[in-house]
Amino acid sequence: MNGPQNLRVYGLLLRESKVLVSAEQVAGRDILKFPGGAVELHETPEQALVREFDEECQLLIQPVKLLNAPGTLFSPWTFSYYTPLYYAVAADGDPECPEHEPIEIAFLSAEETIASGRMAAPEIVALRRALAG
């Protein structure tokens, strides 16, 4: 097998001590995650992240730095393997979710996001790293 399995990218956009999160249904569970998704064939992770933010939030972002690369993990939600990468990102403007996207996006405080019980451990690690600077 070449490359990581099910490579996924996610971006952490911080503003005024709040982080942009996406509320979604994954495998029948209500979860919070950061905007992002699959890296497609012939895309770099950074290109995929820019595309995903445009699709989900209608924002043009700039990846700033890699925050967390935990390797290939087994998802207890989807019962499948995935390889997530978490980036700090910068963007101007306000996010807007297109009507066709089955998600809700909002800026939430880091504390409320972590305490929700709806976020996976790798996301929490990335968020803590982003807050630490």
82-128 per-position pLDDT tens digit: 999 999 999 999 999 888 888 899 999 999 999 999 999 999 999 99
Read off the tokens for 1.
């097998």
Q: How far apart are CA 28 and CA 111, in angstroms?
A: 24
The three-class DSSP label of residue 78 is coil
62-94 per-position pLDDT tens digit: 999 999 999 999 988 888 999 999 999 999 999
42-55 per-position pLDDT tens digit: 999 999 999 999 99
Name the helix (H) or strand (E) containing 98.
none
What pLDDT, on the 0 to 100 scale, is given for residue 2?
63
Pairing verdict, β 73-74 and 104-109? unpaired
18-65 per-position pLDDT tens digit: 999 999 888 888 999 999 999 999 999 999 999 999 999 999 999 999
- Domains present along the chain, CATH in parentheses: 7-132 (3.90.79.10)
Q: How far apart are CA 28 and CA 52, in angstroms?
A: 22
Between vectors from CA 76 to CA 61 and to CA 24, what angle results, nearest 5°? Answer: 40
Q: Quick check: 44 and 87 in contact, CB under 8 A?
A: no
